[in-house]
Structure 1
């Protein structure tokens, strides 16, 4: 660790409880420790953060007894905010440390300065304030659409009261929302997509535009199953998150990317080592244009591009109305034989 990192970690340790209240808000204090599920702010009791220095070590050190992971409060900021490089982590730590010491939520402590609206920084802040989807309305919403994703899909979170502004009337309200991180190939959050939900999680909220994106999207995507920096020889890409999450539901080991729009799909950056790209087809003209442009770019990069076509409107319709077994069989006829054996469940 560099000297500047050591100094930042020490100063964060001096305010360990305040740091935990800000970045590990799903936990609580117990004696000399902050107790939480993990470094990504999941509810639970596995991770312990030392709040005051003692004979066992300095304040701010933590260990996850279940996973064996350990680190300091810079690691907490990096994971809870989805930051990939040290400069961003250090900038976020310095922003926090420039504030007066935060007090408990009931005592009216000051908050961090607002990030620029629509910026990647605003996206990272919102993602950091959200929680894992397990047991939330977001999980219920996805299940209602037939989408089942593994618990380790960390690009998805839930916010119980996400700000929404009607662009016509100017009226505002806070509604539950599914938060999907848009990242680059290295896993760095550059933007996100918000899907506002009905109060019971059964469908989207009754809004004119219940889904909006913010941040830097071009070249990036909502990635499911991407190991940042690793080679990805085979992948699938498409416009919509629910389309790609449906493919991921029946092919849980295949990395997939949802680009959020046809234009962004056309400009998607390819991961390292990509040799074969499956593109989820879209019936509208903009979708076809995006697929054609992406296919041409893939060809120039030496990547074989193959289309995957649904039977109904999109792959989420196929999953919901035809069922996962039918969708699996339908995809088996479109994948290369070696990919069908690798990614589709046997039988």
Structure 2
């Protein structure tokens, strides 16, 4: 199956994910049929369907294997990478880990091992369905200087990286750094990172959700994704509003201003009595 690249994040995502997010399909069959129409390919046979399901199970199993092989984030290069971005959120109980030497593969170069920030992607039941990897520079507190330093693995669509238990109220954003910036300012609010614009628009909330704040990235893909999610949540009678950062994203705002300044501004936007 063909793959696409999310223009907002340079992340590579499955074409099925992007079509499902764009069209709002809930049925895998409908999504696959649309993808085949797009590629002018024949409808898959039952055997092909079983093969694809088996392949997805394999990627989920690999994602869980990498998660288990990773170590707690505190005191690692992954924590230093986040702290260098002025993120002060408590990471001890977060869905984040560190791998000191994860294999990075690129079509234009030989495989090599790099340190990586590993984030667990879970569904509404809390089950890990995939991971997100941010490959890091071995010497600097920055992303690795490679073609695609951010990569997802497993069943990402509809799920997310959850910071806290998502029940009646949550904030959702695209990137891990964006959400952790807001978590630094509002540590008691549950939050989720959808990982890309396409996945933000297709996020599946728990049935208990009553209020959602969408922290949109300040670009066209981010605003379009926020609008799609806003419309879907409104149809489900969720009280939803969208906020935008002073800058490209909320980590950019945090780095240019301060945690206190962002807490005051965003707190007023989302109606907190004590920002």
TM-score normalised to the size of structure 1?
Answer: 0.61
Residue 187 of structure 1: which of 126, 133, 141 is its match? Answer: 126
Q: Residue 99 of structure 2: SS of its match in structure 1? A: strand
Quick one: distance in 2 between partners of 1:281 and 1:136? 29
Q: Deviations over 1:284-323 (max 9, x none)?
A: 2222221111111101111011111111211001111101
**Any conservation in 1 of the 2:175–2:194 contact (CA below 8 Å)?**
yes
Q: CA deviation at 1:138?
A: 0.6
TM-score normalised to the size of structure 2?
Answer: 0.76
1:121 aligns with 2:54: no
Q: Deviations over 1:20-70 (max 9, x none)?
A: xxxxxxxxxxxxxxxxxxxxxxxxxxxxxxxxxxxxxxxxxxxxxxxxxxx
Distance 1:335 1:136, change over 3 A: same
Q: Deviations over 1:112-159 (max 9, x none)?
A: xxx989711111000000001011001111100111232443410000
Residue 178 of structure 2: which of 239, 243, 250 is its match? Answer: 243
1:158 aligns with 2:93: no
Distance 1:133 1:163, change over 3 A: same
Distance 1:124 1:174, change over 3 A: same
Q: Which aligned pairs between 1:105-254 and structure 2 lie closer than 5 A?
A: 119-167=59-107, 169-226=108-165, 232-254=167-189
Quick one: distance in 2 between partners of 1:158 and 1:217? 19
The higher relative CO (CA closer than 8 Å, separation ≥ 6) is in 2
**Any conservation in 2 of the 1:140–1:201 contact (CA below 8 Å)?**
no
Quick one: distance in 2 between partners of 1:263 and 1:202? 28
**Any conservation in 2 of the 1:147–1:249 contact (CA below 8 Å)?**
yes
Q: How many residues end up aligned between the 2 structures?
A: 221
Distance 1:195 1:118, change over 3 A: farther
Q: Which aligned pairs between 1:1-347 and structure 2 lie closer than 5 A?
A: 119-167=59-107, 169-226=108-165, 232-336=167-271, 339-341=272-274, 344=275
Q: CA deviation at 1:201?
A: 4.7
Distance 1:164 1:298, change over 3 A: same
Distance 1:201 1:188, change over 3 A: farther
Quick one: distance in 2 between partners of 1:217 and 1:177? 18
Quick one: distance in 1 between partners of 2:79 and 2:162? 17
Q: Residue 269 of structure 2: SS of its match in structure 1? A: coil
Report the RMSD for the aligned CA atoms in angstroms: 1.7
Largest Rg, 1 or 2: 1
Q: Residue 236 of structure 1: SS of its match in structure 2? A: strand
